[in-house]
Chain A
Amino acid sequence: MLAELIAEGVTLGSLYALIAFAFVITFRATETLNFALGSFLVMGGLVTAELSVNAHLGFWPAFAISCALVTATSMLIERFLVRPMIGRTLFVLGVLTIGVDLIISTLTQHVIGDKVFPLGDPWGSKVLSFATVSLPASRLSALIVALAIGVGFALWFRYTTWGIAMRAAAEDSATAALMGVRLGRVSMVAWAISGLIAGIAGMFLSTFPTLGADPTLRDVAFSTFPAAALGGFDSTTGAVVGGMLIGLVTAITQGYESHLTFLGASLHTIVPYVALVVILLINPNGLFGTREVSRV
């Protein structure tokens, strides 16, 4: 039973790690905490479902179009809303994305209503068994995709000129600009990546355990804040580690919460936030992040 919970935690954690990574990448590039990422997740699931089932396009074409759409939305937001406001405070940029989130989530909520939007995905409710552990097929695919993306980006950041440019811009944008890095391009790419990841993660999170496009994914995005906070919001390593940790803790709590009913019916939904408070109490800068020293 515990082995299964751990397996579940790892697969869930990989998705959380992806989402946390998406938060961190936009924060590093544009000093913006993208509150709208949650509604991107919902969009990813909803558009895939709508195109795949209702428009009869089939799952994979629908998924591709959905990812393109979410990526494009993210890039438009960066270009026309965030970029003109670079230099404003964290608060202003953050509330800006809250405004965007309000618009998108209202629209998605309106479309979904209380209807069910199945995605027509190839995994369905198939379950694969390894020894004593059984995992939903979609979760396993999610893990594989997340790993691929994670490794891919790690290599990309390290070895390609683009990746190096982005890391340079995140560390010291003024110097990077002087060295020829186009900061506008960097932030565009960061938000594009973030949008793409949201589209992919949103699709996976809408296949299991829900029956279809799920408006509560917005809350899921917020529950990955602790993962991003673990890295102080500007460490991708911290985000990934944090995501896995949060995923594991959530899955294990969910497994045992029937024994803990005195703490409420669905303890696992708030375990990430409790973890957040603990992390921030230990170190307000996150456990992995770069410390800022204020010069007098």
Chain B
Amino acid sequence: MMASIPDKQTLAAPGNASDPDREFLRVENLTVCFGGLTALDAVSFSVARGSIHAVIGPNGAGKSTLLNVLSGFCRANSGKATLGGVDLIQRKPHEVARLGVGRTFQQPGVFKQMTVAENLLLGRHTLLQSGYVAAGLRLPSSRLEERAARERMLEFAELFQVRHVLDRRAGQISYGEQKRVEIARTLLMEPSIVLFDEPVAGMNAYETTEMSKLLARLPSDFGVTVILVEHDIHLVMAIATWVTVLDFGHKIANGPPADVQADPVVRQAYLGTSGRTKDHTVW
């Protein structure tokens, strides 16, 4: 069942007008250096609310660094990033999460010794209140919010087709199921924006198609903005509404997928001077 992909025309280019929805996430002159290596060099772009914004580029372009800076796992040397006007960088990862930024990891970030149900329930961590007193003593407030959390969790388990493995340990389910658990859990956090780190890495063609259908539905069904770091160009072309291309830490292109695909600078970065693809992407 193919869900509707957001109309690419309606999500127009972020222009000079500072429309809050058009520039929901604003990255300005972000620079990150590791020792002598500049991973990101004064990168600037904006992400529109409700879009599926892909960040692509050859290996070593700085895509992972970008994700890590935006989610608080890495410090920026200079520059800014704001989400809905709120400063994102120079914050700890858990603070960034509380601001409504979710992220997934390349190796599915599941908690292997916890059950799938517990994994999912952890997604509600920022939305629940019980601590060592309320939860330990099973006060009514704690019991109430647990019950509500459980109901919501079951809904999502159903939606992401992991209901049948709720009692299994997350380390014992299949790779695809782990990925779905991770996404479901991240969405249970009710984030405004989710950063996906190569969501189809290690998947075959069938799994990739299923995952891309799921990702395409996220803005419409869950009201989240999606940032997608990916190598798989087919996936990006199929579902992205906007593409930013990085190469050696520089932004070299930024626009709708079709424009980016035709951009000679981008072809150069991917194909190199010999005309052969550097990383075997079909262009």
Q: Please list the residues of chain A having a beta carbon within 8 angstroms of any beta carbon in chain B.
A: 296
Q: Which A residues are in CB contact (< 8 Å) with B68?
A: 296
In the assembled complex, the Cα of A296 lies from the Cα of B68 at a distance in Å of 8
Q: Which B residues are in CB contact (< 8 Å) with A296?
A: 64, 68, 73-74, 105
In the assembled complex, the Cα of A107 lies from the Cα of B144 at a distance in Å of 56
Smallest Cβ-Cβ distance to B65: which chain A residue: A296
A-B contacts at CB below 8 angstroms, number:
5
* Size band of the interface chain B makes with A: under 10
Q: Which A residues are in CB contact (< 8 Å) with B74?
A: 296
In the assembled complex, the Cα of A32 lies from the Cα of B114 at a distance in Å of 26
In the assembled complex, the Cα of A296 lies from the Cα of B66 at a distance in Å of 12
In the assembled complex, the Cα of A269 lies from the Cα of B26 at a distance in Å of 59
Q: Please list the residues of chain B having a beta carbon within 8 angstroms of any beta carbon in chain A.
A: 64, 68, 73-74, 105
Can you list 5 pairs linking A and B with CB atoms under 8 Å apart? A296-B64, A296-B68, A296-B73, A296-B74, A296-B105
CB distance from A288 to the nearest CB of B (A): 20
Q: Which A residues are in CB contact (< 8 Å) with B105?
A: 296
In the assembled complex, the Cα of A161 lies from the Cα of B105 at a distance in Å of 41
In the assembled complex, the Cα of A296 lies from the Cα of B64 at a distance in Å of 8
Smallest Cβ-Cβ distance to B64: which chain A residue: A296
In the assembled complex, the Cα of A296 lies from the Cα of B34 at a distance in Å of 15
CB distance from A87 to the nearest CB of B (A): 14
In the assembled complex, the Cα of A296 lies from the Cα of B73 at a distance in Å of 8
CB distance from B245 to the nearest CB of A (A): 22
In the assembled complex, the Cα of A296 lies from the Cα of B74 at a distance in Å of 9
In the assembled complex, the Cα of A215 lies from the Cα of B74 at a distance in Å of 50
CB distance from A295 to the nearest CB of B (A): 9
Q: Which A residues are in CB contact (< 8 Å) with B64?
A: 296
In the assembled complex, the Cα of A296 lies from the Cα of B105 at a distance in Å of 8
In the assembled complex, the Cα of A296 lies from the Cα of B107 at a distance in Å of 9
Question: What 5 pairs across the A-B complex have the smallest Cβ distances?
Answer: A296-B73, A296-B68, A296-B105, A296-B64, A296-B74
In the assembled complex, the Cα of A74 lies from the Cα of B105 at a distance in Å of 41
In the assembled complex, the Cα of A175 lies from the Cα of B64 at a distance in Å of 25
In the assembled complex, the Cα of A296 lies from the Cα of B197 at a distance in Å of 10
CB distance from A126 to the nearest CB of B (A): 56
CB distance from A199 to the nearest CB of B (A): 40
